[in-house]
Homo-oligomer: A and B are copies of this chain.
Amino acid sequence: MADSDRMAESDRMADETAQVGRPRNEAASAALKAAALRLVRTEGYGVSVSAIIREAGVSRQTLYNRWPTKAELVLDAFFELAGMQVATPDLGGDTPRRDLLATFLREVFGHLRKDADLLRTLIAEAQTDPGFRAVFFDRFVRPREEIVLALLRDAQARGEMNAGRDPDLASAMIHGAFWYRLLNDRPLTDAVADGLADEVFR
């Protein structure tokens, strides 16, 4: 298997190998992502691949030339078009780390309220497709985990959190509470975000 087979579609342009053969039509990628996000939001993840390619106006093979599965197309569309970027908390200032954590969690929960069903489906897809699980971990899980870990370690360094605590375990409890509530259909409110920050810094 060539490396490029598992490469995120958007990174492929960075390949500077001399071009040979017919060039890829980049408009098709954009059309596919736009169609996928729109249809998944209006009809749910169960929308068929046939409907997506019909709306994008491309052939089936063109989709599978770019993404190995429907899940990876939807993941790309979701992250590029749905405003999923979260601001990394500013650890330079003097804001109490408990407050930075609460703000971060409020922001994450807020972004997700609109697309909770979609995120649940992507987590589900990750359970039955190891390749997609790795991609999902890199794009969604790890970045959020590293933000929280950096924040907790900084809080320990500043004496706002006991140095004996295990940041990995605390991070699993924070993200876990979020996943658990998401996967069991319970709302992710600002009150939950604040409560989690209070519990961790108690």
Contacts and interface: CB of A to CB of B under 8 A. Distances in A.
A131 to B, nearest CB: 13
Contact of A179 (B120, B121, B179): B179
A96 interface: no
A172 B177 CA distance: 5
A120 B125 CA distance: 11
B169 A199 contact: yes
Q: Of A121, A170, A172, A175, which is in contact with the most chain B CB atoms at under 10 Å from its CB? A: A172
Copies in the complex: 2
A195 B169 contact: yes
A183 B179 contact: yes
A177 B173 contact: yes
Interface residues of A, number: 35
Contacts of A45: 128
| Listed residue (A133, A169, A173, A179) with the most chain B CB atoms within 10 angstroms of its CB | A173
A119 to B, nearest CB: 10
Most B CB contacts (10 A, CB to CB) among A166, A174, A177 go to: A177
A195 B176 contact: no
Contact of A176 (B127, B180, B185): B180
